[in-house]
Amino acid sequence: MRYTPHTPSDKEQMLRAIGLSRIEELVEHIPAALREKAKIALPEGLTEVAVKKKMVALAGKNATAQDWHFFLGGGIYHHAIPSAVDAIISRAEFATSYTPYQPEVSQGTLTAMYEFQTLICQLTGMEVANAGVYDGASAAAEAVLMARRVQDGRRRILVSRALHPQYRSVIATYLRNLHDLEMVEIPFTESGATDAEFIAKAADDRTACVVVGYPNFFGVIEDLAPLRAACDRAGALLVTVTTEPLSLALLKPPGDWGVDIAVGEGQSLGVPMTLGGPGFGFFAAQKKFVRSLPGRLVGETVDAAGRRGFVLTLSTREQHIRREKATSNICTSQSLCALAATVFMSILGKQGMRRLAEVNARRAHAARTRLIQEAGLAPVFSGPFFNEFALKVSGWSERRGRFFANRIVPGAPLAEWYPELPDALLICVTEMNEEEEIEQLVRTFIAR
């Protein structure tokens, strides 16, 4: 393919206008030594037909949720997405516009971002939210960095071991080079919850914040009351990280627990799994922190005629103005995915979000009960959960073959991240896992 519209005569006329005769003259000011080595050793271009064929073949080598029974969560969730969502985000006016630097011709994007910020505030129960960041992991890291900003002098970060392991490693990566910061891991109890007593002891006046998953990586819903209390005593901020925001349509939202910064991954709200990206990170906080927020913020204002309009605002926080003093380096974010979530939440609305969350919880609870009672699997944790849970599955490496033969992926082994949990499988059940699938899952576990 070629997407360059230049005909030979176009080129010739344009060159003549510039005062040149050959295209190569455009690059002759570049050192010859560089130009000589610049040829690209890749195959020639293909027709669109050949491209599609090649890509269909590649795609065909992946197991999809359409042909397989996935009981996989762990930060990425397979949920119902109304076709209307893709219809909207496919519209060129949204998909092929840039970050809305010219508000007069970007009210579509800006209005949607303002609606997004509002929806995130409502979902999390927080006072302010930005227009989104890269993903849940970087959102968690940004939250820690923000805690450091607003809590200056405090150099200690307590992070729950029950927080998504990839998020913990991203936080660690972000902190590693900020020599002055120390990251302390909080253990979890046999309920699968973060150890509140440990926090009570460890949190002190050097502690900037405490970071926990809500629900956490094991699917367990943390009781945030004792954590909030411990943070209050220590003057530390409480940060929650949610990887399954659908749960917040059912669970007491972070804001109601008095959380200071509530962040998470938004993929589960209308974005296909897509091997884990793109999704988007959401970032909400208490109003008093607004000027320390990372990322973009859209605010309401008016034009000379008094018409309501929306603009990017408080940008003095941002890199393009503040440069090295910015609250974050983020520029291009994940707008279109945030738009997908905005459309998704708008369609489901108050009742639909609640219903979908209820269906997830009930179906997951019923499945766990069956796996324990009928397949005799032992629970790993005792804490309350939303739509995922860990069960003991011994000899997974021998058994997995049988499951895959039935096109079932029953869960994700926790051992990779938790050597202390060698036989644990993290199992997720959503509304997309039908009766029969769960039946099959149970039967396959029984048949050993």
Partner 1 sequence: MSERLSRADDRRPKLPLIFESGSAGRSGFFWPEEKGSNEIPAALCREEIPGFPEIGELEVLRHFTRLSHLNFSIESEFYPLGSCTMKYNPKVNEVVARLPGFSLVHPLAPPELIQGALELLLQLEKMLAEISGMDAVTLQPSAGAQGELAGLMLIRAYLKEKGDARRKIIVPDTAHGTNPASSTLCGYDVIQVSSNKQGVIEPAMVEQVMDDSVAALMITNPNTLGVFEKNIQAIADVVHRRGGLVYLDGANLNALMGIAKPGDMGVDVLHINLHKTFSTPHGGGGPGAGPVGVKSFLRDYLPVPRIVKKGGDFALDANQPKTIGRVRSFFGNFGILVRAYTYIISLGSDGLEDASRMALLNANYLKKKLESAFHLPSTEPCMHECVFTDRYQQKQGVSTLDIAKRLLDFGFHPPTIYFPLVVSGALMIEPTETETRETLDAFAEAMLAISREAIEAADFVKAAPYTTPVGRLDEARAARKPQLRWSPAGG
Ligand X SMILES: Cc1ncc(COP(=O)(O)O)c(C=O)c1O
Binding residues for a second copy, rule: CB under 8 A, are 47-49, 56, 66, 80, 82-83, 87, 90-92, 431-432
Based on CB atoms, which residue is closest to a second copy, 65 or 326?
65
Site for partner 1 in 80-139 (CB under 8 A): 80, 82-84, 86-109, 111-115, 117-119, 121-123, 125, 128-129, 131, 134-138
Q: Check residue 6 for interaction with partner 1 (CB under 8 A).
A: yes
Based on CB atoms, which residue is closest to ligand X, 319 or 406?
319
Backbone angle region of 411, left / alpha / beta, with phi > 0 → left and psi within -120 to 50 → alpha: left
Segment near partner 1 (CB under 8 A), from 182-190, 198-206, 231-239, 252-260?
252-260
**Partner whose footprint covers residue 405, from partner 1, ligand X, a second copy, none (CB < 5 to 8 Å by kind):** none
Q: Check residue 328 for interaction with partner 1 (CB under 8 A).
A: yes
Q: Check residue 332 for interaction with ligand X (CB under 6 A).
A: yes
Q: How far is the CB of 76 from ligand X (least distance, A)?
A: 23
Site for partner 1 in 44-63 (CB under 8 A): 44-48, 51-52, 54-63
| In contact, 188 and 161? CB cutoff 8 Å | yes
Q: Which of 69, 158, 162, 166 is the binder for partner 1 (CB under 8 A)?
A: 166
**Partner whose footprint covers residue 432, from partner 1, a second copy, ligand X, none (CB < 5 to 8 Å by kind):** a second copy
Q: How many other β-carbons are positioned within 10 Å of the β-carbon of residue 319?
A: 16
What letter represents residue 292's amino acid?
S
Q: Which of 46, 178, 331, 366 is the binder for ligand X (CB under 6 A)?
A: 331
**Partner whose footprint covers residue 5, from ligand X, a second copy, partner 1, none (CB < 5 to 8 Å by kind):** partner 1
Q: How far is the CB of 170 from a second copy (least distance, A)?
A: 32
String marking each residue 192-231 x if it binds partner 1 according to CB under 8 A: -----------------------------x-x--------
Backbone angle region of 407, left / alpha / beta, with phi > 0 → left and psi within -120 to 50 → alpha: left
**Sole residue written with tokens 């576990």:** 445
Burial status of residue 146 (CB atoms within 10 A of its CB: 0-12, 13-18, 19 or more): buried
CA angle 163, 165, 170 (to 5 degrees): 100
**Partner whose footprint covers residue 3, from ligand X, a second copy, partner 1, none (CB < 5 to 8 Å by kind):** partner 1
**Partner whose footprint covers residue 232, from partner 1, ligand X, a second copy, none (CB < 5 to 8 Å by kind):** none
Q: How far is the CB of 332 from ligand X (least distance, A)?
A: 3
By C-alpha distance, which of 343, 333, 295 is closest to 91?
Answer: 343
Q: How far is the CB of 61 from partner 1 (least distance, A)?
A: 3
- How many residues lie near ligand X (CB under 6 A)? 2
Q: In sequence order, which residues have a C-beta less than 8 Å from that of residue 227 and are 6 or more positions away?
A: 194, 196, 199, 210, 212, 238
Residues found in the chain: 448
Based on CB atoms, which residue is closest to ligand X, 133 or 340?
133
Based on CB atoms, which residue is closest to ligand X, 322 or 362?
322
Q: How far is the CB of 278 from ligand X (least distance, A)?
A: 13
Strand 69-70 and strand 128-129: pairing? unpaired
Q: How far is the CB of 294 from ligand X (least distance, A)?
A: 13
Element (H, E) at 12: helix 8-18
- Omega prior to 384 cis, within 30 of 0: no
Q: In sequence order, which residues have a C-beta less than 8 Å from that of residue 442 and are 6 or more positions away?
A: 367, 370, 371, 374, 375
Q: How far is CA 33 from the centre of its chain?
A: 44
Based on CB atoms, which residue is closest to partner 1, 72 or 441?
72
Site for partner 1 in 396-425 (CB under 8 A): 400, 404, 409, 412
The DSSP symbol for 306 reads -
What letter represents residue 314's amino acid?
L
Helix (H, G, I), strand (E, B) or coil at 55: helix
Based on CB atoms, which residue is closest to a second copy, 17 or 49?
49
**Partner whose footprint covers residue 150, from a second copy, partner 1, ligand X, none (CB < 5 to 8 Å by kind):** none
Q: In sequence order, which residues have a C-beta less than 8 Å from that of residue 298 and are 6 or more positions away?
A: 110, 113, 114, 117, 131, 310, 311, 312, 313
Q: Which of 174, 198, 217, 445 is the binder for partner 1 (CB under 8 A)?
A: 174
Full DSSP string of 173-238: HHHHTSTT-EEEEEPB-TTSSB-HHHHHHH--TTEEEEEEESS-TTSB---HHHHHHHHHHHTPEE
Long-range contacts of 353-359 (CB under 8 A, 24+ apart): 353/123, 353/246, 353/249, 354/249, 354/250, 356/79, 356/80, 356/246, 356/249, 356/431, 357/246, 357/247, 357/249, 357/250, 357/386, 358/250, 359/431
**Partner whose footprint covers residue 433, from partner 1, ligand X, a second copy, none (CB < 5 to 8 Å by kind):** none
Based on CB atoms, which residue is closest to ligand X, 115 or 135?
135
Give the residues lining the site for ligand X (CB under 6 A). Answer: 331-332
